[in-house]
Structures are given as structure tokens and as C-alpha cells.
Amino acid sequence: MSLDIWLGMDVDTGGEEPYFLELFDANITHNLGEMADKAGIYTVLWRPEELLDWEANPTAGMLIDPLEEGLEKLKSNPDHFKKFDSPNGWGVYDHFVPFVEKVLDACKKYPKATVFTSR
């Protein structure tokens, strides 16, 4: 089982329906959920729609600050977060930090894109 996260937006191409343009996608194991929670970014990554009081998905720009804070926590205390590495090796700190960096970079690049997840 894993988390899929992607950023996209509808584009008016002049046809009857808008075209959905996927701008970014990434995937990571659910085994990193506890580490994400301890870094304060579980909801941001796994359930971003819960950041809002309504049912629409958030924009990527809304995730920038919490992801920056979570990434700083992760990087400031690697030994603490490595305690949450999956014993089977499927979901470790050394994979999670680059994943968070990649998602954060995409959010900064496409701040108006809508965030979608599948879990």
C-alpha cells in the first residue's frame, strides 16, 4: 500500500470540457506514515483535504509552509526520525526526506495547482 500525491489543474483548451493537466506526481509507502506524523506533516501529505473546512482539495501553495516546517524537523534530528524506519526496509528516513523535498519543490513550482491524493 502506498500514497500517491499529484498536482494538476484544469486547462481551457476551447473544447466542451477542460483538459486536466497533471503537473507532478509522486508515490511513497504507507510505512512512512508514523514518521510523517512525528514530523507534523502526515495530514499535509496523506490527507490534505482535511486542512480545509470544505470538501475541495487544497492548492499546492497551501502546503508550502507546513512542508517546510516538517522538512526542517526531519533534517534537524535524523537520529530521532530514523527510529521510525520500517523494520523491513520499505519506508526509511533516507527515502522520505528526498520525497518531502520533491513534493515541496513541486508545490513551490506550481502553487496554484490542486493537490490530489490516493491512499
Contact 10, 18 (CB under 8 A): yes
**Tally of domains in the chain:** 1
Range of the domain at 59: 2-118
Higher pLDDT, 78 or 89: 78
The chain-wide mean pLDDT, for the chain, equals 94
pLDDT per residue as tens digits for the range 21-74: 999 999 999 999 999 999 999 999 999 988 876 557 799 999 999 999 999 999
pLDDT at 54: 54
Cell output for 116:
490530489
Q: Show Cβ contacts of residue 119 under 8 Å, excluding neighbours closer than 6 positions.
A: 1, 2, 3, 4, 30, 46, 47
| Short-list 47, 41, 59, 48, CA closest to 99 | 41
